[in-house]
Structure 1
Amino acid sequence: MTNPNVDTQTYLAYYTQDHCSPQWQRFLTLMFDELLTQADHEGATGFLRHIGSRLAAEWPLGEYDTLEALERSVNDALRQLDWGWVAIRPQDNHLVIQHYAFPIPSTSETSLEQSFQAVSAVLEGVYSTWINEQGGSEKTPLRCVDTNVTLRSLTFHYGR
């Protein structure tokens, strides 16, 4: 699933220039590998979601009346973190959050899947916390439902 509002060339240029900082690449690759292979799946992803929630709690967005205003605020926060950008839209009975150009520590096929899994868990925590700030419910699930390795994007759904 791709967003027609995202210019692919702009995206690829951003990703190429602002990839995960080299000083952290190997460390994060090894940390994700150890965490995801040594701990049980629920424990590892739960820990990473918790880290994402803490990050979002330290970076509160405030409350917004429209999805457009929320999207702008999320993108401002992501820009300051150098974590790419999002598009947020309603669809049926849930919100779709499409995240582009997030930093991942590796590009090898072996560790790319683990990087996507780890980053998506962190972002689940971030987005859950920020949506709860908007009056969302902790009981409403927010989950990564799709990954696109080519475009380095993740798709999240908030809702049932």
Structure 2
Amino acid sequence: MTSNSDARPEWEGFLRALLDTLDAHMSPEERAVLLRAIGTQIAALSPIPPEDTLAGLEARMNERLAVPRWGTVSIALDSDGPALLLTHAAPPSLPSLRDGQGEWIGPVLEGLHGGWIGAQPGAEPEVGTQLVCSDEGRMVLRYGA
């Protein structure tokens, strides 16, 4: 076991094997559905108590993301409609056989953020979160209709 906080997580080998196995046995669409469901389940296992403000929700989400070192998220109102824009900086980056850029984390984050926001008072759980764009070290998601 390493004590270096910058070292790769010890579970990286397991995750790489899991992703490669999913790639070998599932279409990209099937894999995305499963990974989105996993993100939703992670949110359910680590619920965020009701928050009255977006700033409070953002702070609680970042507390949860800090433990596994999954980056940070900032939340803003979407000027194009009744929705939220989530900018997720420094998401986990681990390539798989089929996904050399590590884009597999996008559906996980869709489920995770959608689960956390959908469980807040006044939210509509059936409203989904969609990955809008992704570049190196950042993913933007939209929660809304």
The answer to whether the 8 Å contact 1:20/1:103 transfers is no
Distance 2:74 2:7 in 1: 20
Structure 1: distance between partners of 2:140 and 2:24: 24
How far residue 19 of structure 1 moved from its aligned partner, in angstroms, is 6.4
Match of 1:87 in 2: 74
Partner of 1:112: 100
**What TM-score, normalized to structure 1?**
0.75
* Structure 1 residue 20 displacement after superposition: 4.0
Residue 127 (structure 1) aligned to one of 113, 135, 142? 113
Q: Determine if contact 1:29/1:111 at 8 Å carries over to the other structure.
A: no
Q: CA deviation at 1:49?
A: 1.0
Instruction: Report how many residues are paired.
Output: 138
Output the CA distance in 2 between the equivalents of 1:19 and 1:84. 15
Task: Name the Cα RMSD after superposition.
Answer: 2.2
Match of 2:30 in 1: 43
In the TM superposition, what is the alpha-carbon distance from 1:131 to its structure 2 partner?
0.8
Task: From 120, 124, 131, give the equivalent of 1:144.
Answer: 131
The 8 Å contact of residues 33 and 111 in structure 1, kept in 2 or not, is answered as no
* Counterpart for residue 76 of structure 1: 63
For the 8 Å contact 1:20–1:105, the answer to whether it is kept is: no
Structure 1 residue runs of 4+, over 3 Å off?
A: 17-20, 23-27
CA contact (8 A) 1:26 1:105 kept: no
**Identical residues among aligned pairs (%):** 30
AA aligned opposite 2:21: E
Stretches of structure 2 lacking an aligned partner (at least 5 in a row): none
Question: Normalising to structure 2: TM-score of the pair?
Answer: 0.82
